[in-house]
Amino acid sequence: MADKQISLPAKLINGGIAGLIGVTCVFPIDLAKTRLQNQQNGQRMYTSMSDCLIKTIRSEGYFGMYRGAAVNLTLVTPEKAIKLAANDFFRHQLSKDGQKLTLLKEMLAGCGAGTCQVIVTTPMEMLKIQLQDAGRIVRTEEETAIPLSPAAQRKILTAQGQLSAQGGAQPSVEAPAAPRPTATQLTRDLLQSRGIAGLYKGLGATLLRDVPFSVVYFPLFANLNQLGRPASEEKSPFYVSFLAGCVAGSAAAVAVNPCDVVKTRLQSLQRGVNEDTYSGILDCARKILRHEGPSAFLKGAYCRALVIAPLFGIAQVVYFLGIAESLLGLLQDPQA
């Protein structure tokens, strides 16, 4: 209803709860998406999502699949809260005339929501991508390292034998593994070297992805949810909201996947051996098209669809169940 007042604190809390639940469930798939999108033709380490996850578990352990999750869990609450609350706010403002929202107004509300969320999304994704892709970079460097010649290996072994005889420490043929970065270290380094702009690298590409995503997602969800609502009910059943969120989220994710590939490449600070570097959105798109072909823009598309579908399905269920409204009601009611 147009005259229904929205509760901004409740919307923010609902968005945060939904984000925390959703990210925890689907983060390993998101890690696979990032690594698949970042690998270039010359360094194809993973052949599929399942291959990526299996190799990640083998080389980094089970918790390796959650590398970068702390950043996401910390910032997904304000990100999802802003996205959902902003869309609700713009829809409310655009329907003040009492008329039903047209498709154009629904798209405008989604555009506003996508624009607002990049304030949090860009630094969150910037840090998350470095942490998620660190394992791939390390493995790429290990697999492409130039092996020592037999003569060099004999010299090292001879030195080891001499030191052993003298009671000294033995040098290792293998180089020590590079330390994995942490979110705190990355943030400090970026702020020291590039200032606040370092955390917002790829802002244009993030806007290019998130604004069209919201323009597609929110109107599609609203109309699918409306189709499943019984005529006698004010709200759709939770399963209708869940399915509508899944379908709308996966459709919007696949539609903007080329922009997501470009964004992921631009925000990756480290590259594997012989991998391209990019100076901007157009340069990145041009090099991907030239060196990897049009199909490269769909890398990780099914992973992204698998991430976004339950993420937004869960978000809409929490949002429409009004969990925060119930919590706030309990806090405000001294008799409860």
3-state secondary structure of 142: helix
Whether 315 contacts 18, CB under 8 Å: yes
Predicted local confidence at residue 281, as pLDDT:
94
Cβ proximity of 246 and 306 under 8 Å: no
* DSSP secondary structure string for all residues of 25-62: HHHHHHHHHHHHHH--GGG---SSHHHHHHHHHHHH-G
Q: What pLDDT score was predicted for residue 321?
A: 74
Per-residue pLDDT of the chain (336 residues), as tens digits, is 334 455 667 777 877 788 888 888 889 999 999 999 988 866 678 888 999 999 999 988 888 899 888 898 888 888 877 887 788 889 888 887 777 888 898 899 989 999 999 999 999 999 999 988 887 777 666 555 445 456 655 555 565 555 455 555 544 444 444 556 788 888 999 999 989 999 999 999 999 999 999 999 989 998 998 898 888 777 788 788 889 989 999 999 999 999 999 999 999 888 777 788 898 999 999 999 999 999 999 999 999 999 888 888 887 777 777 777 777 775 555 443
DSSP secondary structure letter of residue 297: G
* pTM (2 d.p.): 0.78
Q: What is the per-residue DSSP string for 65-94? A: GGTTHHHHHHHHHHHHHHHHHHHHHHHHHH
pLDDT of residue 148: 47
- Cα separation, 261 vs 34, whole angstroms: 9
Per-residue model confidence (pLDDT) at position 80: 77
Domain limits, the chain: 8-142+181-332
Within 8 A by CB and 6+ apart from 332, the residues are none
Residue 179's pLDDT is what?
58
d(CA 312, CA 48): 24
Task: Name residue 260's amino acid.
Answer: D
Which CATH fold topology does 8-142+181-332 show? Mitochondrial carrier fold (1.50.40)
Residue labelled with tokens 């918790």: 63
